[in-house]
Chains A and B, each alone.
Chain A
């Protein structure tokens, strides 16, 4: 049960770390790397608060072992900010539309929305619902979150490729 060493990229930065195999990727990101933007909601894969991008695709960090991330690239909510730390287009739109309340599900919502908008800057309502269907929010009833994603998509389209 010795520790295993892994190398991975997190938000574009190379990391090397050693951990027990049983450590979840979620706990690794939060407790070892200190990226606490990724949140713990249920630890059994239902709520989506721990969503991250894994090699560009949204997954749940509670449903992976940290050791399985060896050699892979991860983006967390912190990685959605611009390089100077300012809010990206999606994050800006979430503020303008107030697509949140308590902020707890927000990182997961942003990750899911980011994954959607990365390949579809003109999503239909059904596509937006499908993208965030695995992210529970208890505060908003989702309406302002959908509006935030629509606003971000519009701004991305207006900005052009």
Chain B
């Protein structure tokens, strides 16, 4: 388990990164926290010609609130995000999700952006971000573009980020002031800290009359990508969500996901447990949004 040879560029600016990516013709990759990339290098599942290190670029770290959104820069450590008062206050779902990510040692190094770039279909940060209607900022030598996460995940470890693009930041929209929101993140894994076998992230918002003004449910580990269950969300919207309404909407999940089989669980398990966890997450989120 020793990496193949590669060149190494300790980049000092984003310009330097995108220039290197552009030159690389798909053979140049970025290392951020390295918590997923390093095992892939060691197993020679990744054999890049060049590795560009973005850890020393100060502009790629930090969390800030900007006009209606919280921005987390790509190279912000998961541990930093977890401990951030801004995240705790504004992005409780993300905080809950990161609590399930790996262990202290990996969160100290792993980054929020790296998790989105790696795009494991069972990983927690992409799932929470998808449920929160986040979008990502991407940049190449040609310029910058914004991409909603709904259009970002293409398959297992495959995203719409092009080989010549760097993911700069993740943007989480803030809800309207005074809205009652509730969030929940439920996952099942055999051991604490492992990738989820199945996970559910729920984010609901109620208006002053107790009607659901926004409902988001995302399921991870049960398809090639994390999935929003829009059919279910539509059935909750505008209702005074209760246990029965949730139960009636749950069958939408099975229509929206196509789980795979592996040695950790057969597809039937993932399908059923997705519904179980979704119900729990929605109930908890609704309770959290109650006055």
Contact = CB atoms under 8 A, between A and B. Distances in A.
B8 A21 contact: yes
Contacts of B43: 44
B85 interface: no
Contact of A24 (B3, B5, B108): B3
A112 B103 CA distance: 11
B10 A57 contact: no
B160 interface: no
Binding site secondary structure of chain A: mixed
B105 A134 contact: yes
A112 B5 contact: no
A60 B102 CA distance: 12
21 contacts: A1-B7, A21-B8, A27-B2, A43-B1, A43-B39, A48-B103, A54-B108, A54-B109, A60-B106, A63-B34, A63-B35, A63-B38, A63-B106, A63-B109, A64-B38, A67-B8, A67-B53, A68-B31, A68-B34, A70-B10, A134-B106
A21 B104 contact: no
Interface residues of B, number: 30
Contacts of B35: 45, 63
Interface of B: 1-8, 10, 31, 34-35, 38-39, 41-43, 51, 53, 55, 79, 102-106, 108-109, 192-193
Contacts, number: 90
Given A22-B5, A22-B6, A133-B193, A68 B55 contact: yes
A4 B8 CA distance: 9
Given A43-B42, A133-B192, A21 B106 contact: no
A157 to B, nearest CB: 22
A49 to B, nearest CB: 11
A21 B6 contact: yes
Interface residues of A, number: 30
Interface string A43-80: 11100100100100111101111011010000000000
Contacts of B103: 48, 133-134
Which of B8, B39, B51, B103 has the largest count of A CB atoms less than 10 A from its CB? B103
A74 to B, nearest CB: 13
B2 A22 contact: yes
A24 B6 contact: no
A81 interface: no
Contacts of A64: 34, 38, 109
Interface string A19-31: 0111010010000
A131 B42 contact: no
Given A57-B79, A134-B104, 19 more contacts: A1-B5, A1-B6, A22-B2, A24-B3, A44-B39, A44-B42, A45-B38, A45-B39, A45-B106, A57-B108, A59-B108, A63-B106, A65-B31, A67-B8, A67-B10, A67-B53, A133-B192, A134-B103, A134-B193
